[in-house]
Chains A and B, each alone.
Chain A
Amino acid sequence: MAAAGSPRSAPRGLTGRAFKPRPAANGAGAGAVMEPRAPSGTGRPSWGLLLARGHGPLGFSSSSQLLPPENADPQRTAFLLRKQWTLYSVTPLYRFSNAHLRNYSRLLSAFIAAERQKGWAVEVGVELDIKVAVSSLPDLKGSDQDHAAVLVEVRSLPSPQKTSQEKRIWSGWFCCVCGDDFFENMPEDFTCLPLFLANGAESYTAIVGSWFQKTFDCCFHRLAISPLNLSWMAAMWTGCKVDKTASAMELIFSVPGLLQPLDISYAIHPEDAKALWDTVQKTPGEITQEEVDIFMDCLYSHFHRHFKIRLSAAKLVKVSTAIASAHCDGIIKFLQSQYLIGVLRLLTELAISQIQ
């Protein structure tokens, strides 16, 4: 019993996870986020209420910060673009080490083989038809403190009879962009890669995820994006410059409380949207909740004038711009490599707020 005194205080002080009281002046957003039972909700409340700070979502304040670090080669991350990634949040990995990536590849492929054969007698000596590679993606980080992103790929091997090529059948990556605040005070046994993105069959996500959970004692959970965060993305991405003539900005709303699903798509010419945003934004490089609200309200009232439909009563489910597109179910598609890091930074913060 004498020993019990000390560990008692340990978890609190050490995690630095003392629950931050919500700022009082965020009435605007609170209503939308705090209604988990509303049929229009994403199914889970956004705990942290992260966006209601003075400086944009979690200090994501400057559009200049959307630019990638200078040394990054866009070619090396090009394969991440134009794919649908399902988002997960991941608690810190326990005893994960970059030095053992090759070992992890081997263990993980054995695990996948075992899982696929589950329920059958072991067939010894049968060659695996898949190959698993765990590798590091050093380009994907926001600051020097960030852990390098980790890529997991499952490839199907060509069968000897056919001359087909190796094919990527599933891929997923862990990353952390500017998560410094989060892993301050983190003991060294833990590796913070709070955001996980997966592309491919969910059965593989399940197997790979289970292996990571078992091996590194972490938890994966789907990362939904609340309508409030989606509107932030809409505003933020509107303000970004894109070289080529960009595609239209599209907002998709779903109307709650109907027997038949009804989606409303609202497309805006990117230059019009940019012009509107420029009139709303007071200080370049800084975004506030108020500005986002004004921006969205302007769009809503414009829509109302033409169609007599109040979009504010519907639920924003998807935002697509030239930078990226995001769905409230937690699915993202990156479209511009120069803004990849910036978008990841925002997603990292969303993931951190979910696991904190």
Chain B
Amino acid sequence: MQRRQSSKTPKQPLQGHHKNQTDLSAWCKGGRTDPEKSVENHQTPNSQKNDRQQDSLEQALCYFEKLQDRVSLKKNSVLQQHLATVESIALQRGLPPEGFDVLLNVALSGKFADTVNTCLLKSLVPASVIPESSIISSVSWLCVGKCSGNIQLLFLKWLITVFDFIDHKEQIHALYGFFFSFLQDEKMCPYVCHLLYLLTRKENGESIQWCEMEYYFGMQSHLQALLSLYKLFCPELVTITLPGKMKTYFKNSEGPWKAAINAIRRRSQGNSPLSQPLFLGTAQPQSRKRKWNTQLFIPASSTNRNNLEQDSGKNHVDLYSANKSFPVEQLQTFPQLLENIHHLEFPSQMGSVLTNPLLLHYMNCIKDESVYLRLNYWMGQTLQEECTWCVADNQYEDEFKDFLETVYKTECFLQEGFSSCEEFLYKSLPLWDGFCCRSQILRLVSWIPLGNFSEMKSHLYDPLAQLFFTSSLYFKCSVLESLKELLQNWLNWHVIHLDSASDSQVCSLNTTLSGLVNVVAELIQFVGWISTVALRLENNPTFLLYFILDFYETVCDMYLRYSLPLLIMPPAGVFYPALLSMDSVSLNQLCYIMYRYRTNLVAAKENEQSKKKILQFKFSSQTYQEYNQYIIAMVGCLWTSTAFQKDIHPQGLRMDEELLKKTAMQELKTSFNIVYHPAMMGYAVLFLQQVMGWANIWGKKWNWYLEYLYTQGLKGLKLFIESSINRVSQASRSKAGNTQA
């Protein structure tokens, strides 16, 4: 968090001008932007002034960039003017990152007299960051030795002061040896020491010996500082003893810059939108985002210093000396993970694992309760504090969306839901508008762990149902989709648990089979209920029906695919709309589902009969009964054209002869068989067009028609007919007939 703030604040005031600034090179080639135009665009006097300054700075930089020969200051008014511009802007607002390269090149190349170079160097006040490349080219100028010793010194002082403003330091680290060679210069030595002190890492220990030698002769404090640092990193390599305490190692090298940077920073913070007081409801200063710790922020992985510290408390091992654990910052590749898996430690802040797939792998194989506990605490707090619809004045919806997305991806990766996330959903769903972060929230719903029903009902089903009934068709479909995922996740969990249950005796209330069966049954019943209502509300659209039947595709296969002793038939409110649907896709899907129900029920029946011991769970006869009612209705409809007579379901199609006569329709009986069914009529017509000359489909033609339907991709229908219909002509092919069990 701190890092983010510090890099952000100085940038803030510049953002308004960035577009111009980054265009610097383009501007140099293509001429100036029209000043009048930009004045038109920005009406306020302040921004006009800024624009003018911007232009003149660009001009000045361009001038310096194109400069070829030595120019003297006295005779050159253009140079004087540009120099003044750079100086005043630098002190007022700081220089943009692009400026450093140009100005450093000029100042260190020795084109000007030292007065100009000094002036330029003193103006190098960063507004935001300093690009690493400009430092690299400066060092190469130093090596060529074109500039005077004073300028070299000034440059080093500047580099030390602005060290933390450099955007990257990797390449500068690579120049360590160059800097080290500068130590031989007596004047530069103190500053180079300071710089090396900032740059030194553990691996730079090989330079020690020379340093020691120098130190013998001089005992200068700056060398002592550097040596003490080497000693910290590689205690075994430093042979001399250093005096215990020394107050100031390095001379103050702040130069003229620190005050200027400070002033700019102060000014920019004053202008930045973040620090301006919000004037909404002054009675309660609710500018939440200004407060500490209120930004959504996933911490970076860093080694748990706390542990190291505690270890060192015991046996006085130095923090930097070879410790056993592998620092998480260095973990970059999978082979590294495998190599170090036994001495890897989780980062100091568990939240950082969310963005680190390697650590997630590691988490997957570590059975440490505290790991999950730490993560859950952090995540729970973050979700609660950042939830855009629960916390007033929180407009950071995109940030929150991304965070939810990350959490969801992590859950998918670990193949399990977080309890903190579950609680967050329970708390926030009743307040949710069903719109904000919709897809993220619904996806998170699919990872809710198995819970007890009363909890699920009041915290998940009730609020979800409310939103479901009052929202659009698409929302309804998304809810059904995520509930299907939820069911699948539970079932998968159950299957995995079955495998591992044999060796562990963990059987909490949530994980007993009866508990699981009950919770799954409640979910399926809930979906059955909302589906029935939704079909009526929306007038049976195929789109919705597809999502509902998709859900039941999982339900009808639970016994065989997931070894769960539970089968629940869809309610009549779903079955009949699907059966009488206008669309062959729905009908085909229904046929497939009924075929799978049959397969599962038959398997369950066989299992019951073959096993002598009493099974803990038996399908109730009601399930078989319901199935049989549906199958009679279906066969009656599609095949035997007897739906109106034989359907025995209380909500079914059965109708009195008298009533049917009153409709005065012809060929009423056959109106829902596979030829005349509104979903199939199209196929029948196409079939008849292909085999010209036939007026109707009977006898042999019926079989040909069936073959034709199968070639049209109606696989579900094929499976259904082949399994569930006892065909007199093909008795051998369909074995058991229907399941009048």
Contact = CB atoms under 8 A, between A and B. Distances in A.
A pairs with B: yes
Interface of A: 1-15, 17-19, 21-22, 34, 36-37, 39, 41-45, 47, 91-92, 94-95, 97, 100, 103, 107, 115, 118-127, 187, 189-190, 202, 205-207, 209-210, 213-222, 254, 261-263, 317, 328-329, 354-355
15 contacts: A2-B499, A3-B367, A19-B426, A36-B391, A37-B392, A107-B305, A124-B249, A127-B247, A210-B2, A214-B302, A218-B377, A219-B377, A220-B293, A221-B293, A354-B384
Contacts of B510: 9, 12
Contacts of A41: 392
A7 B293 contact: no
Given A6-B500, A190-B373, 10 more contacts: A10-B367, A14-B373, A19-B423, A119-B6, A121-B163, A121-B198, A127-B247, A202-B292, A209-B292, A262-B283
Interface stretch (B411-419, B531-539, B620-628): B411-419
A213 B506 CA distance: 34
A26 B249 CA distance: 67
Given A44-B391, A115-B2, A202-B291, A215 B414 contact: no
Nearest to B381: A219
Interface string B155-171: 00000110111000000
Given A122-B197, A187-B373, A214 B349 contact: yes
Contacts of B389: 36-37
Nearest to B500: A5
Nearest to A2: B500
Contacts of A261: 281-283
Given A214-B348, A221-B385, A107 B309 contact: yes
Contact of B299 (A122, A125, A214): A214
In the A-B complex, the 5 residue pairs with the closest CB atoms? A261-B283, A206-B292, A91-B377, A219-B381, A5-B500
B508 interface: yes
Nearest to A107: B309
Given A14-B369, A124-B197, A39 B281 contact: yes
Interface string B399-420: 0000000000000001110110
B315 interface: no
B381 A97 contact: no
The residue in A21, A91, A124 that gathers the most chain B C-beta atoms within 10 A of its C-beta is: A124
A44 B381 contact: no
Interface in B153-199: 160-161, 163-165, 194, 197-198
Contacts of A15: 373, 376, 419
B284 interface: yes
Given A4-B496, A8-B449, A355 B390 contact: no
Query: Interface residues of B: mostly helix, strand, loop or mixed?
Result: helix
The residue in B306, B310, B418 that gathers the most chain A C-beta atoms within 10 A of its C-beta is: B306
A9 B508 contact: yes
Given A100-B310, A120-B258, A125-B246, A94 B370 contact: yes
A345 B423 CA distance: 25
A214 B2 CA distance: 11
A184 to B, nearest CB: 14
Interface stretch (B71-79, B454-462, B549-557): B454-462
A213 B578 CA distance: 56
A24 B205 CA distance: 69
Interface of B: 1-2, 6, 160-161, 163-165, 194, 197-198, 225, 246-250, 252-253, 258, 261, 265, 281-286, 288, 291-293, 299, 302, 304-307, 309-310, 313, 348-350, 364-365, 367, 369-370, 372-374, 376-378, 380-382, 384-385, 389-393, 414-416, 418-419, 422-423, 426-427, 430-431, 449, 451, 454-455, 458-459, 493, 496-497, 499-500, 504, 506, 508, 510-511
Contacts of B454: 21
A229 B565 CA distance: 48
B248 A126 contact: yes
Contact of A47 (B349, B370, B372, B427): B427
A36 B248 contact: no
Given A8-B416, A263-B283, A43 B393 contact: yes
Contacts of A189: 370
A216 B347 CA distance: 11
A95 B511 CA distance: 31
Contact of A21 (B2, B374, B455): B455
B7 to A, nearest CB: 9
A7 B373 CA distance: 11
Nearest to B292: A206
Given A125-B246, A125-B249, A126-B248, A355 B293 contact: no
B191 to A, nearest CB: 11
Contact of A123 (B164, B165, B250): B250
A122 B427 CA distance: 47
Contacts of B282: 261
A205 B40 CA distance: 46
Contact of A45 (B1, B253, B365, B431): B431
A11 B250 contact: no
Contacts of A42: 284
Contacts of A8: 415-416, 449, 493
A11 B431 contact: no
A42 B302 CA distance: 35
A329 B643 CA distance: 69
B280 to A, nearest CB: 10
The residue in B164, B292, B293, B430 that gathers the most chain A C-beta atoms within 10 A of its C-beta is: B292
A17 B288 CA distance: 28
A210 B416 CA distance: 30
Given A13-B508, A95-B306, A210-B2, A7 B370 contact: no
A215 B303 CA distance: 10
Contact of A19 (B160, B288, B418, B459): B459
A100 B309 contact: yes
A127 B248 CA distance: 9
A181 to B, nearest CB: 17
Given A3-B365, A4-B416, A17-B423, A215 B306 contact: yes
A301 B89 CA distance: 65
Contact of B381 (A3, A91, A215, A329): A91
Contacts of A317: 283-284
A329 B454 CA distance: 34
A21 B293 contact: no
Given A3-B367, A15-B376, A118 B2 contact: yes
Contacts of B1: 210
The residue in A10, A189, A190 that gathers the most chain B C-beta atoms within 10 A of its C-beta is: A10
Contacts of B382: 219
Contact of B313 (A14, A94, A103, A222): A103
B295 to A, nearest CB: 11
A221 B381 contact: yes
Contacts of B350: 217
Nearest to B508: A13
A190 to B, nearest CB: 7
Contacts of B258: 120
A145 to B, nearest CB: 19
Contacts of B391: 36, 43-44
Contacts of A190: 370, 373
Nearest to A115: B2
A97 B511 CA distance: 36
B383 to A, nearest CB: 11
A189 B285 CA distance: 38
Contacts of B423: 17, 19
Given A9-B511, A220-B293, A34 B431 contact: yes
Nearest to A254: B283
Contacts of B378: 91, 217, 219
Contacts of B250: 123-125
B416 A7 contact: yes
A212 B48 CA distance: 47
Contacts of A202: 291-292
Contacts of A205: 292
